Chain A
Amino acid sequence: MSQVNLLSPPSHISPDTARKLSLKAPLILSHPPTSSLPWPLSLLFSRETPESWTIHENLFYSSLRTGDETSARQILERMEARFGDQNERIITLRGIYNESIAQSNADLERVFDGYEKILREDPTNMSVRKRRVAVLKALGRTQDAITAVTVLLQNSPTDVEAWAEASELYASQGAWGQAIYCAEEVLLVMPNAWSAHAHIATLHYLSTASNSPPSLPALALSLKHFCRSIELNDSYLRGYYGLKLITSKLISVLSDSASASNKRGNNQDDDEVPIPKIATVKKLEEIATSKLGEIVRNASSGKTGWTGYDQAELIAARELLDGGGKIER
């Protein structure tokens, strides 16, 4: 990436991008968006836009990441002067700053106690509740983090961000059932989120990946969700990758079970998950292979209009097409 952008930073920031982003700090810090004139004149000569503050916030994050605490401190002070230090968002940003300068776990615990104190004064501050979860995660207390996020969700059950976090926390513990439940809650609020469908499909696949033979209903559900994700986004690389992976697994499982016994056909009626026919699965694999090939070919030749894909994902897709697909992302 040649051009880094502070207004809408990419969804994956590599350390190199983070360095380039935080190098913009001196320029932004030398031009304050607010005017230093007294009140009525400051309204006339202010040059601030909503975008200025988005840029400041993103710069704050990237300078913390690169360890540039002086810049982060200055940005924080500028935002405090603008929005007041009782603003919920400012309280959260100050908390992040304190977390970042904490040297040891004991320091982090102190930041955590500070959050508890803020919550005793104002229990409705949701972003501080989320910071609590983040601190617990950073301390390695994943079980406590899960408890904290479930308490948060009891109070605010439509918070998709928290449901997604809970799903990933459960998945990190190998609790696939709970992780899938949380991901389904995300889908209830945002049924069109293709990434959530791909996520849930990955969870279904991972829940059975270590079993041999893999359980057929889980694979079928995974197939279903990957299909839905590419139905929602017709050039979704991860969706096609997953579809190809799952179909190749399903074909071998289905052909095994078909030759072993025919009794599966009888008890399929009371089974909740309909098992797809092998012909359908084969057709889906063909579609996935051709579409993956098209994406990889166009994107790696750098054709215009095909530059939105992540390089690592393209490499993984090419490996899968070449037959060596072992990694699931």
Chain B
Amino acid sequence: MALLGTVLNTVGALFLTHAIYSTHEHTTAFSTSPLPTDITLELLLSIVLLSTGIVTSSQPLRPIQAATWAGQIAREGQKPEGTYTREGEAVLSEGDPYAFLGLDGGFGEKGGKGEGRRGFWDVKGKRREYEEWVRGRGKE
């Protein structure tokens, strides 16, 4: 799809440039006679090609319904979008916008282990969890 879009855009842009150039040359040479039909047709063709190319090369549309959009986030998770920061970290697609509430963890054993609610981040607890994990690995 990306290739098709690029080809259409390039050809469309070439036709557009050529049509404009022809118009310019025609009007300077014969300023009184009307524009020939082939130039008009070329211009129209270039517009059609460019419009199709721009539409096909655009990003996939996001779901209009909020539930479908949220479902897509839940199903697919965060994926790399192909761009990277200067530090070499991939820029990921949109994630759960309510993750900062930290309410997704539930209760019991796993409760409160999430990374939500940064303001209340329990540094001691996280550190203890990591130390226990390291000790457990050392025993194996």
Q: What residues make up the interface of A, taking CB atoms closer than 8 Å to B? A: 3, 5-13, 15-16, 18-19, 27-28, 31, 33, 47, 49, 51-52, 55, 61, 64-67, 96, 99-100, 102, 108, 126-127, 130-131, 133-134, 137-138, 160-162, 164-165, 167-168, 171, 183, 186, 190, 192-196, 198-199, 202, 206, 231-238, 305-309, 312, 327-329
CB-based nearest B residue for A206: B107
Judge whether B28 is part of the interface by a CB distance below 8 angstroms: no
Q: Flag the segment in B4-12, B30-38, B126-134 that touches A.
A: B126-134
Which residues from chain A contact B73 at a C-beta distance below 8 Å?
A: 233, 308
- Can you list 8 A-B pairs with a CB-CB distance of less than 8 A? A5-B90, A96-B121, A102-B124, A134-B121, A164-B116, A167-B103, A202-B107, A305-B76
With A15-B133, A134-B120, A309-B77 given, name 17 new contacts (CB 8 A). Answer: A5-B92, A7-B91, A8-B95, A12-B114, A16-B133, A31-B87, A33-B86, A51-B85, A55-B87, A100-B127, A138-B125, A168-B103, A168-B112, A206-B107, A308-B76, A308-B78, A328-B106
Q: Given A8-B78, A49-B86, check contact A236 B71 (CB 8 Å).
A: yes
Task: Give complex CA distance A192, B67 in Å.
Answer: 10
Name the prevailing secondary structure of the A interface residues: helix
Q: Given A127-B119, A134-B121, check contact A195 B96 (CB 8 Å).
A: yes
* B74 engages A52 (CB within 8 Å): no
Judge whether B82 is part of the interface by a CB distance below 8 angstroms: no
Question: In the complex, which residues 57-76 of chain B have their Cβ closer than 8 Å to any Cβ of chain A?
Answer: 66-68, 70-76
Q: Given A66-B130, A202-B107, A306-B75, check contact A196 B124 (CB 8 Å).
A: no
Judge whether B1 is part of the interface by a CB distance below 8 angstroms: no
* B102 engages A164 (CB within 8 Å): yes
CB < 8 Å: which of B71, B91, B110 contacts A312?
Answer: B110
Which residues from chain A contact B80 at a C-beta distance below 8 Å?
A: 3
Q: What residues make up the interface of B, taking CB atoms closer than 8 Å to A? A: 66-68, 70-78, 80, 85-92, 95-96, 98-108, 110-117, 119-127, 129-131, 133-134
Which residues from chain B contact A61 at a C-beta distance below 8 Å?
A: 121
Task: Give complex CA distance A147, B46 in Å.
Answer: 69
CB-based nearest B residue for A199: B103
Task: Give complex CA distance A265, B56 in Å.
Answer: 59
Interface centre among A13, A127, A190 (most CB of B within 10 A): A13
Which residues from chain A contact B91 at a C-beta distance below 8 Å?
A: 7, 51
* B117 engages A11 (CB within 8 Å): no
Which residues from chain B contact A19 at a C-beta distance below 8 Å?
A: 130
Task: Give complex CA distance A11, B85 in Å.
Answer: 20
Task: Give complex CA distance A28, B85 in Å.
Answer: 12
B124 to chain A, nearest CB (A): 4
* A232 engages B85 (CB within 8 Å): no
Task: Give complex CA distance A52, B91 in Å.
Answer: 12
Query: Nearest 7 A-B pairs (CB), nearest first?
Result: A308-B77, A329-B106, A15-B133, A235-B71, A233-B70, A234-B71, A130-B119
B8 to chain A, nearest CB (A): 27
Task: Give complex CA distance A309, B73 in Å.
Answer: 10
Task: Give complex CA distance A67, B126 in Å.
Answer: 10
Which residues from chain B contact A27 at a C-beta distance below 8 Å?
A: 87-88
CB < 8 Å: which of A55, A66, A329 contacts B85?
Answer: A55
Task: Give complex CA distance A11, B73 in Å.
Answer: 13
* B66 engages A192 (CB within 8 Å): yes
Which residues from chain A contact B92 at a C-beta distance below 8 Å?
A: 5, 7-8
* B129 engages A15 (CB within 8 Å): yes
* B90 engages A195 (CB within 8 Å): no
CB < 8 Å: which of B98, B111, B122 contacts A138?
Answer: B122
* A6 engages B117 (CB within 8 Å): no
* B77 engages A161 (CB within 8 Å): no
* B115 engages A12 (CB within 8 Å): yes
Task: Give complex CA distance A183, B104 in Å.
Answer: 13
Task: Give complex CA distance A247, B101 in Å.
Answer: 27
CB < 8 Å: which of A49, A196, A235, A308 contacts B101?
Answer: A196
CB-based nearest B residue for A137: B122
Task: Give complex CA distance A64, B126 in Å.
Answer: 9
* A202 engages B130 (CB within 8 Å): no
Task: Give complex CA distance A65, B111 in Å.
Answer: 18
CB-based nearest A residue for B91: A7
Which residues from chain A contact B75 at a C-beta distance below 8 Å?
A: 235, 305-306, 308-309
Q: Given A186-B103, A193-B98, A329-B106, check contact A12 B124 (CB 8 Å).
A: no
